[in-house]
Structure 1
Amino acid sequence: MLTNWTYKKRLSVIFRRTNFLREYRDFLGNLKETQPRYLQTNKETLYTEYVYSIPLGKVLTDSLEKAIVGAFDRVCKVKSAGGRLYVRIYKYKLPDHVAYEQLKEINVDTKYTVPIGLTLDDLILHNFDVTPHMTVAGATRQGKTVFLKQLITYLCENNPTEDIRLYLIDLKGGLEFGRYADLKQTVRVASNACETAKLLEEVQSEMNRNMSVFRKLGYTNIVDTPIKTRTFVIVDEAAQLSSEPFMQQETKEQLGYCQHALSEITRIGGALGYRLVFATQYPTSDTLPRQIKQNADAKLSFRLTTEVASRVALDEQGAEKLTVPGRAIYRTIDKVEIQVPYISDKESEERLAKFKEVDQRDGASYDKVSRTDDDDPLQTG
């Protein structure tokens, strides 16, 4: 284990080799270079942080950051702010597993907010009233669908039943989301492209009606109104909504409509209380439409197979380097590496059993009798 002196000494070597030095004049007036000015050491429970003054004219570059991060036997984070360089060296590693039940120990008192994952410093929360739409990417068995189930479970458990409405699109044939079809919060589940088109037609009709009501009442954003209901449209395996050359024209038009309708949710639905979570296994320019990507300010990516896929999902590399299932990069303004909580199918079903309606009809997709808030955007619960 390295000592504090060793850490600082190693940082001095890195500063010299990367030319991260400050200039000064000696007593003879000669211009010389020396180490950046060391300011302080902050010792916290989880980490030790070394603070330096950034030399005039110097900036934190990718090469300097990589050199620092790669120089130590512990997890290290580097950032610059206010003319200072902060090198934070952690005492612990990010856990490879976080159980969903651990979330119950954390008090989240903001509605429509869900835990996204654990960082080295804290639990990251996502507030859907602040950032309405999210894209999710990830290769097979890396945690994407488990995250969506965790999201559904947490929303239902931690918000009044009448405040959450779910439109679930499961393009794995309904195998994953079919279990949620009889929840009181669920309006409809779609399991193929045809059902998805019908579901989105219903959503668009609702949005148009709600828009008319908002206009009459002078509302511009649901967060500034007494309306408590939020409608979540959650899509898994969205790549199945991309057309292929061999498809019939009718099918292509149907898929085109689905992508257009989902884009409209991100464009105008946020102000009306609609929240889109759009998940795909293979992020490309076809499977992750440009308008959805641009309007979804939150991006979550589990491991992807290539750097190109990572750049599509996150606008930068990194997701291809993740190695642990459930490990992801969450990006809004900044990006952070997290471990996403894990929930099994059994635990999810047990937790949500109290929200189930008794319905004898077969099939994964069906219309339910409208709740009072299905047709009334002013239902306040």
Structure 2
Amino acid sequence: MWFFRKRHPLELAAESAANVIQHQLTRLNLAYRAKSKQHGDVLQQVEFVQPLIATPHEIRIEVDVLRLPRGVSITDLRKPEVCETLAAACKYPVRTDHKKGKNGGFWFVVELQERSAIPRLVRFAEMALPPNAPPLALPIGVGVNGAQQWEDLRDLPHLLIAGATKQGKSVMVNALLCQLAARLPPERLRLYLCDLKGGMELAFYEDLPHVAQFVTRADALPAMLKQLQEEMERRTVLMRKKARDIDGYNYQVGKEKALPYLVVVVDEIANAMLSSDKIQLNGEKRSISSATEALLADLAARARAVGIHLIISTQRPSVDVVTGLIKANFPCRIAFGTASEVDSRVIVDDSSAHGLSRGRMRFRRNMELIELQAPLLTDKDVRDRVAAICTGAAPAEATPESAEDKARRECALLLQVAMADFGGKFPIKELFRHPTIQRAKIGMHRLEELAQRLEAEKILSKAIAHRPRRIRALSQQQQAIYGQRGAWRVAHESATNPDPAAPITDEIDQLTGEEAPALDQLTGEEAPALDQVDQEPADQADQAAPTPARRWRRARAA
């Protein structure tokens, strides 16, 4: 009889990472293909030294440097773009380690960071403006562990957004425009909008006081860009002997003579880049495509210092739309889901954007490639925010939640679900599979951390063998934090429904974004309060499982 050894999860993870890295290296042409008369096409790939070294913190994959394919060197494997591609494929940071000498070698190191998955849905209202944020701060999205990605448009300094249809490009443009208009008054920000979808996407902003010009036809776009080019030349003359950028110039001249930021937004640039119609520009006839490309390249190359920034989007990321001249002046690019790997490589020089889900993006910031979830902004949200800006009552910005408040809120939710559905028991795996916990996006590792926290606070009993923990009686202080009042309401008294007797289902509603049923409806009977739960009596525990020791105690008592 054959007995198969049960493999450790880290061993399986190391083998999977090695296969992914080998496949990606082959895709990057870091392999040797030869033709043989006997065997046909022969592929020589990068091989690894066995066994692979895996720890809870990292996986070290040693390359067999003595058997490298023909034409592949260590220098090729150490290039930054190789590590970027491997990191995007492995979903973890990848670095290289090279040691020379007798015991030297070359390793790919996959850093296994403790992290939670990127959320599938991020609402624009959840994006909290960081403290001391710059005036042109943009909400890009949310990444691993819920980390919010904000960027300063002055540092980008231009942005290209591309992807297939219905993947989130227009929603992203709306989020950027709403943030800019809500942050700066019309005296400090002027918007030049061009909606080449017939004015359907950016029509909400036509009455915004920040809008200086609104264009809906491709033949009018070169004229608008020419006007901005002339403004760029005028500002260059003004700032030539006073400052190197617009911020330094505004600091010297004061608020009364300060120049506003000019942000140009072009939605669906492909309609202009593919148009062969002739227009009259500066006394000569030129095609719309050539005039648009030349003006965009000139503005992108020289307009940053004078406070002019470009944001363009397209759903056709082909080489005749996103030309090499445009890519060279747009180092920061966002790629939503694309229809093919070729389109993904055109945008971010990597094929990882192919097949992404809706709202998921690859954000290239210079040499860095990051996966993020874009903020969601509905049409109703856009109308409400634009109306609030026009009336002078901009919506309040969200405040970031501290780690302690989040832990208390999640602990309160776990205790209430354990009371409602598990009768005071605290089984980790069952709680992880519970629909309410799944909607709250609490992972297995996070669940174990919260359970250890509650156990240290004497709220849960200790875990013994395969028995789940049980909820103990809560003190008055613990009742104030985790009881029916709820940790979220204790930490934020200004929250809605401040009634102390309100059920914890309000907290579940705030956490999951949908209405949660009452606790007594979940089980069909009235759920006991947390302070009524105590440890299991000793005599009931003795009757639970008739072990030999318990049978001896019963016989002695009889």
Q: 2:461 maps to which residue?
A: none
Q: 1:11 aligns with which of 1, 6, 14?
A: 14
AA aligned to 1:236 is D
Distance 2:141 2:214 in 1: 26
Could you tell me whether the CA contact under 8 Å between 1:166 and 1:231 is conserved in 2? yes
Tell me how far 1:188 sits from its aligned partner: 0.7
Could you tell me whether the CA contact under 8 Å between 1:193 and 1:255 is conserved in 2? no
Provide, for residues 235-280 of structure 1, a one-character-per-residue CA deviation record: whole Å limited to 9, x for no partner: 10100112456x4576852443222222211011111111111111
Tell me how far 1:82 sits from its aligned partner: 6.1
Tell me how far 1:186 sits from its aligned partner: 1.1
Q: 2:155 aligns with which of 130, 134, 143?
A: 130
Q: 1:278 maps to which residue?
A: 312
Q: 1:177 maps to which residue?
A: 202
Distance 2:140 2:216 in 1: 26
Task: Note if 1:337 corresponds to 2:371.
Answer: yes
Distance 2:88 2:299 in 1: 40
Structure 1: runs of 5 or more not aligned? 22-32, 42-48, 359-381
Task: Note if 1:77 corresponds to 2:80.
Answer: no
- State the structure with more CA Rg: 2
Task: Note if 1:238 corresponds to 2:269.
Answer: yes
Task: Note if 1:162 corresponds to 2:159.
Answer: no
Q: 1:143 aligns with which of 168, 174, 196?
A: 168
Could you tell me whether the CA contact under 8 Å between 2:265 and 2:311 is conserved in 1? yes
* Greater helix proportion: 2
1:307-318 equivalences under 5 Å are 307-318=341-352
SS at match of 1:92: coil
Tell me how far 1:93 sits from its aligned partner: 2.5
Tell me how far 1:13 sits from its aligned partner: 8.2
Q: 1:115 aligns with which of 126, 133, 139?
A: 139
Distance 1:327 1:82 in 2: 31
| Matched length | 329
Could you tell me whether the CA contact under 8 Å between 1:327 and 1:340 is conserved in 2? yes
Structure 2: runs of 5 or more not aligned? 1-5, 23-45, 66-73, 99-106, 252-257, 393-558
Judge which range, 85-94 or 181-190, deviates more.
85-94
Superposition CA RMSD, Å = 3.5
Distance 2:319 2:174 in 1: 26
Tell me how far 1:64 sits from its aligned partner: 10
Distance 2:83 2:222 in 1: 50
Tell me how far 1:87 sits from its aligned partner: 2.8
Judge which range, 291-300 or 57-66, deviates more.
57-66
1:1-381 equivalences under 5 Å are 6-8=9-11, 10-11=13-14, 19-21=47-49, 35-36=52-53, 41=56, 49-50=57-58, 52=60, 76-80=91-95, 85-88=109-112, 92-104=116-128, 107=131, 109-121=133-145, 122-215=147-240, 217-225=241-249, 226=251, 229-244=260-275, 247=277, 253-322=287-356, 324-332=357-365, 333-356=367-390
SS at match of 1:303: coil
CA gap 1:35/1:81 in 2 versus in 1, 3 angstroms: closer
CA gap 1:64/1:15 in 2 versus in 1, 3 angstroms: farther
SS at match of 1:124: strand
Provide, for residues 65-87 of structure 1, a one-character-per-residue CA deviation record: whole Å limited to 9, x for no partner: 999998xxxx8414116667233
Could you tell me whether the CA contact under 8 Å between 2:204 and 2:382 is conserved in 1? no
Judge which range, 287-296 or 163-172, deviates more.
287-296
Distance 1:134 1:141 in 2: 19
CA gap 1:13/1:136 in 2 versus in 1, 3 angstroms: closer
Moved over 6 A (4+): 53-56, 60-70
SS at match of 1:183: coil
CA gap 1:317/1:15 in 2 versus in 1, 3 angstroms: closer
AA aligned to 2:360 is R
* Greater strand proportion: 1
Could you tell me whether the CA contact under 8 Å between 2:140 and 2:375 is conserved in 1? yes
AA aligned to 2:230 is S
SS at match of 1:202: helix
Distance 1:243 1:6 in 2: 52
CA gap 1:205/1:69 in 2 versus in 1, 3 angstroms: closer
Judge which range, 86-95 or 287-296, deviates more.
86-95
Whose relative contact order is higher, 1 or 2, with alpha carbons under 8 Å and at least 6 apart? 1
| TM-score normalised per structure 1 | 0.75
Provide, for residues 101-133 of structure 1, a one-character-per-residue CA deviation record: whole Å limited to 9, x for no partner: 101475462221111011114211221111111
CA gap 1:55/1:98 in 2 versus in 1, 3 angstroms: same
**Identity rate of aligned residues, in percent?**
23
| TM-score normalised per structure 2 | 0.53
CA gap 1:240/1:55 in 2 versus in 1, 3 angstroms: closer
Could you tell me whether the CA contact under 8 Å between 1:166 and 1:188 is conserved in 2? yes
Judge which range, 11-20 or 337-346, deviates more.
11-20
Could you tell me whether the CA contact under 8 Å between 1:183 and 1:357 is conserved in 2? no
Distance 1:52 1:315 in 2: 27
SS at match of 2:232: helix
SS at match of 1:267: helix
Distance 2:84 2:303 in 1: 40
